[in-house]
Structure formats: C-alpha cells, structure tokens
Amino acid sequence: MQQIDWIVLSATLLFIVVYGVWKTKGSKNVEDYILGNNETPWWTVGLSVMATQASAITFLSTPGQAYHDGMGFVQFYFGLPIAMVVICYTFIPIYHKLKVFTAYEYLEQRFDLKTRSLAAGLFLFQRGLGTGLTIYAPAIILSALLGWNLTIMNIAIGVLVIIYTFAGGTKAVNVTQKQQMFVIMTGMFVTFFLILHLLPNDMTFSNAMHIAGANHKMDVVDFSFDPETRYTFWSGITGGFFLALSYFGTDQSQVGRYLSGKSVKESQMGLIMNGFLKVPMQFFILLIGVMVFVFFQFNPVPLNFNPNNKVAVEHSKYKKEYHILEDKLDKLSEEKKEINLIYIDHLNQNYDNPILRKELVALSSKENDLRDEARELISKADNKAETNDKDYVFIHFILNYLPKGLIGLLLAVILSAAMSSTASGINALASTTAIDIYKRNVKGEKSDKHFVNATKFFTLIWGIIAILFACVGTLFENLIQLVNIIGSIFYGTVLGIFLVGFYIKYVKAKAIFWGAVMSQLTIFYIYYLDVVSFLWLNFIGAMLTIFLSVTLQIVMKNDKIEA
C-alpha cells in the first residue's frame, strides 16, 4: 500500500461517514429515526436494499467463486425477481397499511404478542451473530494479506458505522448506502476494464470469453437434478426463491429499508429495481472473476491464494514437497500460456480450434490436481487451516496487479460494502429491540424523544456487541458456515409464520405459535440427524410451520366443537 492508496481509502470512508452524519443530524421523533420520516424515494430504497445485501464477502468471494467454478453461481439468484414480486404484491401493502415500524409488529396485530416476540427473538439472535460476521469476514482476509491488526480493523470498521448509524438512524443508513453503492460500482467497473487492459495485446474481449468458455467457466445454466450439485436452475428457482422471500420479506435489516419509502408505490418500485438489477450485478461480479481467471492464464499463479497457508507449509516438514508442486505449476502455467496464445491466434483467424480447446481442458484438469495435492499438504501441515482459497483470489489480484491509487479505491469498495450491510444490521437490531421488546414492555407513558434516545442507545449497544463478536470470531472454526447454518435453521420458521399470517386467514394465534415452536424443534432435530444440506432447512422450516399450524387449527376447532 502506497501513500496515495491510504489517501484514497481514508478520504472515501471519512467522506461517507461525515456526509452521513451532517446530512441526517437531529432526528426529532421515532418515525424520523426508524422510518426516515417516510421520505425516501424509490431509487434510494432500491440502492439501499442492494447495498444491504452486498456485503464485503460478496466482492471478495464471488469473483473467487467464478475463478474456480465459473458463472453457475448466478443461478442461485434466479428466484429473487419472483420473490420481489410476491413481496411487492402482498407484504408491502400490508406493512404500509398497518403503519408498522418493524415487520414483527404486524404479527401482534394478526396473531398475538407471543408470536411477535418469538419472531423478533429469532431475528435478534440470528442477525446479532450475522452482523458481527459482516465486520469480521473482510477484516480477517485483509489482515492476512496486508498484515493489519485484526482487532484494530474490527474496531475501526465498527466505530465508523456506529458514528453515522447512531447519529442519523435509518436516514443516515439510506443516505450513506447511496455513496457506498457509487464507490462499489465505480471500483468494480474500473477493475473490469483494467483487467481487460492487462490481457495480452492482440487479445479481444471475445477471445477472453472464448478462453473462459474453453475452460468451462461460461456454463451458466444447469438443468440437472443431481443432489450433489449445489447450484442448479431448480435449486435457484426454489431454494433461491424461498431464501429471498424470507430475507427481503421478513428480515428487519431489509424490511426497514423499504418501510422508509415515501409511499407503497415507491417502496414497491425500490424492490422491483432490486429484482431487475441484482441478477445483472451478480453476472458482472462473476464475469470479473472469470476475467481474473483469464488473466492468470498468462501470468504466474500461486498454488493456494491464501498466504497464511503457504506460511504454514513453509514451517513444516512438507516444505520440500510443496516446492516441487510449485515448480510443476510454473511449468504447467508456461505450457498453458503458449497454447492459449496459439488458440488466440487461431481465434483471430476465425477458427475455434477444437484440438487446442481439448488441450486447454486437459491442462486445467492437471492444474486442479496440483491444487488438490497442495491442499492435502496444507491440511497435513495445519489440520485447522481453511484450504479453500476462493475468498483470497480477487484480493490477491487487487494487491499484486492494480496500479497505485486504485488499490486504495478497491479497499474502499470492500470496506464500504462491509459498512453498508453492518449499518443496516445494527439499525434493524436497534429498531427491533426498541419497538418489539422495549416499547412493548416498558410501563407508563413515555415521550417520543424517550424512544428516540432508547433506539440510539440500542444502536450503540448492538454496535458494540457486533464489534465484540467480530473480535472473538477467530475462536470459532469456520464462522461463515456457522452463521449461514444458523440463518437457514431460523429463517424458515419465521417465513412460515408470515406466510400463514398473509395467506391463511383460517389459522389463529394459538395454532401458529405452537406450530412454529414445533416446526423449529423439528428443524433442530433434522439438522442434528444431518440428512439434508442446510440450504434446504429454510424451505422445510417454512412448509412445516404452515402444515403444523393448519393441522393444529383443525384439531383445536374440532376440540371446541366436541366440547
């Protein structure tokens, strides 16, 4: 990192924080602080929803995912536009009509306090852990590569977010997310064109796409029913749909964004905008990863992109074997480079040589074998090491090949993304704690100012909890997996409660509460038995809640008739 990078990074982040505080200072009432006074236009709602979902891991992991497995991951987002339409058609009009501050407030009006508290409690537990992770995940990767102190990074990201979220509430989150999305998209576009510029001179964009295609990186849609394949068209349309429905429809960090819309229509337009732009955005981020792959067909590539893994092997008895593998990879890279250059030459003469394509596939397969052998050595050297290096591919490229100044901008992209999702998380946790727990249980008449101060206080507390959780993140093995599992375990039940509330008027409070409790316990048991991938727990949880609550309602009604 050069001085210019530090200037770009600090100036970008400080500008966002100062602008957020200055633009939104002095919230007078709860409506202003939690709902942004319902003044947000649709495009700010849309950008805010997108920025909330786009965490730092999106920009670190997704290009790495494309580098290793190609464009197929985009299928996971195919169900998202359908979920947006369902939310616009059903969820938003009800939330607006009831003038709720949080999604869970609706549940008391439809069912009872017990059900509201259950859903709010499940949200607080799950989002409380998740928000800590949005700080920890980029911090651990950047500290590994740049040698920065992990604790200081966690505290710095957390404090910057707390400053403006505390000062301006929802309005500050929305305003800063516009700037953050601008920084993110500028950084990603500049990087994309720079990668193309760094490719060999006689290589066109079309040639680069052909090279990616020859290495099976451009296979987007997979219609197979193979349960071993995680991302298929079918899992995207079903699993992706249910995940998007629960995340955008019932998670307060997202509901809070569109509840601040000027009107029902503005909130709906914001979500439709998200539905339209999310898939192209993911296509674009994955395409950057694919272009990084093409770039490394002509440049030296490490055996494992995580520098900590190399350090672990270097300090073990497997050092020599690892060096042998590195030499083999260097020779293979040279061979690949030569064949790729001949392949480009043929492409420039309008001939897509099938023999060379086959050779490229064979060389890629050899490279993958070498990487697998390297992973085995890393595991032998340190059995706790995370050998999957996809989170480190893009950042390795940024730090080693981008020019001065641009490294600072790209780090600002990653930290902006971390800050935007952390801010939404803290803001939602504080709103839910203040409205669904504190306001609902506090005795006596309290002024509006009192509840603004209470929400501010909870913002500070949740911010500190998120930082503390990020600081002890290293104590947990595979933290990302842990938080994803926790999300899948709880999201389904919460979604089931909301779906019953919206669509099955027949089911009443007692049936939904006990149906949800039984469904949650069953999900715990299914997870314990380990019979399905955790990605399906969300769908199963929602269906179980619906089925059990309807059954209980029928049984209870029959009991009443017999009595």
What residues between 426 and 445 interact with another protein by CB under 8 A? none
Q: Which residues contact 539 (CB under 8 A, 6 or more apart)?
A: 238, 239, 242, 492
Q: To 5 degrees, how large is the angle CA 219–CA 224–CA 227?
A: 115
Binding flag, residue 361, another protein (CB under 8 A): no
Residue 295 or 318: which CB sits closer to another protein? 295
Q: At 351, is the secondary structure helix, strand, or coil?
A: coil
Which part of the chain contacts another protein (CB under 8 A), choosing from 47-55, 153-161, 213-221, 458-466? 213-221
Out of 209, 399, 480, 550, which residue is the one contacting another protein (CB under 8 A)? Answer: 209
Q: Side chain identity at 555, as an amino acid letter?
A: V
User: Residue 385 contacts by C-beta under 8 Å, 6 or more apart in sequence?
Assistant: 308, 309, 312, 378, 379
The reply to whether 210 sits near another protein by the rule CB under 8 A is yes
* Residue 96 binds another protein (CB under 8 A): no
Classify 39 in phi/psi space as left (phi over 0), alpha (psi -120 to 50) or beta: alpha
Give least dist CB 216 to another protein, A: 7
Residue 387: phi and psi, rounded to 5, are -80, -20
Local structure of residue 403 (DSSP, 8 states): P
Residue placing its CB nearer to another protein in the complex, 36 or 275: 275
**185/461 with CB nearer another protein:** 185
From residue 235 to residue 274, the character string flagging contacts with another protein as x (rule: CB under 8 A) and all else as - is -------------------------------------x--
Does position 342 bind another protein by CB under 8 A? no
CB count within 10 Å of CB 133 equals: 25
Which stretch in 127-135, 178-186, 276-284, 478-486 sits in contact with another protein by CB under 8 A? 276-284
C-alpha distances out from residue 393 to 96, 292, 306, Å: 43, 8, 8
Alpha-carbon distance 201 to 439, whole Å?
A: 64
Binding flag, residue 276, another protein (CB under 8 A): yes
Q: If binding is defined by CB under 8 A, does position 279 make contact with another protein?
A: yes
Taking CB atoms within 8 Å and a gap of at least 24, the contacts of 16-19 are 16/164, 16/176, 16/179, 16/180, 16/183, 16/416, 16/419, 17/160, 17/163, 17/164, 17/176, 19/175, 19/176, 19/179
**Closer residue to another protein (CB): 19 or 283:** 283
| β partners of residue 40 | 261
- Looking at the Cβ atoms of 195 and 428, the one nearer to another protein is 195
Max Cα separation, the chain?
Answer: 86
Looking at the Cβ atoms of 210 and 390, the one nearer to another protein is 210
Window 217-236: contact mask with another protein (x via CB under 8 A): -xxxx---------------
User: Looking at beta carbons, which pairs linking 349-358 to residues 24 or more positions away fall under 8 Å?
Assistant: 352/210, 356/214, 357/214
The Cα-based distances of 422 to 128, 179, 242, 453, 475 in angstroms read 10, 15, 23, 20, 21
C-alpha span between 131 and 121 (Å, rounded): 15
By CB under 8 A, residue 402 contacts another protein: no
* Residues between 56 and 95 that touch another protein (CB under 8 A): 71, 78, 81-82, 85, 88-89
- For 443-505, where are the alpha helices, taking DSSP H only? 448-471, 479-503
Instruction: Please state the three-class secondary structure of 252-312 as a single string.
Output: HHHHHHHHCECCHHHHHHHHHHHHHHHHHHHHHHHHHHHHHHHHCCCCCCCCCCCHHHHHH
* Residue number, 265 or 380, with CB nearest to another protein: 265
* Interface with another protein, residue 216, by CB under 8 A: yes
Question: Taking the complex as a whole, how short is the minimal distance between the CB of residue 351 and another protein, in angstroms?
Answer: 15
Which class for 197: exposed (0-12), middle (13-18), buried (19 or more C-beta within 10 A)? Answer: exposed
Q: Does 277 bind another protein (CB under 8 A)?
A: no
Q: Give whichever of 151 and 238 is closer to another protein, judged by the CB atom.
A: 238
Q: Does 196 bind another protein (CB under 8 A)?
A: no
Rg (CA), the chain: 25
Q: How far is the CB of 53 from another protein (least distance, A)?
A: 17
Q: Which of 88, 106, 462 is nearest to 258 (CA)?
A: 88
89 vs 547, beta carbon nearer another protein: 89
Closest distance between another protein and the C-beta of residue 284, in Å?
10
Between residues 7 and 221, which has the closer beta carbon with respect to another protein? 221
Under rule CB under 8 A, residue 213 binds another protein: yes
Pick between residue 10 and residue 229 the one whose CB is nearest to another protein: 229
- Least separation in angstroms between residue 260's CB and another protein is 22
Binding segment for another protein (CB under 8 A), chosen from 155-163, 206-214, 308-316, 328-336, is 206-214
Output the smallest distance, CB 290 to another protein, in A. Answer: 9
Q: Give the one residue of 234, 283, 476, 502 binding another protein; rule: CB under 8 A.
A: 283
Q: Which of 13, 212, 395, 500 binds another protein (CB under 8 A)?
A: 212
Instruction: Quote the least distance from Cβ 282 to another protein, whole Å.
Output: 10
| Binding pattern for the stretch 362-381 against another protein, x by CB under 8 A and - elsewhere | --------------------
* Residues that bind another protein in the complex, under the rule CB under 8 A: 71, 78, 81-82, 85, 88-89, 206, 209-210, 212-213, 216, 218-221, 272, 275-276, 279-280, 283
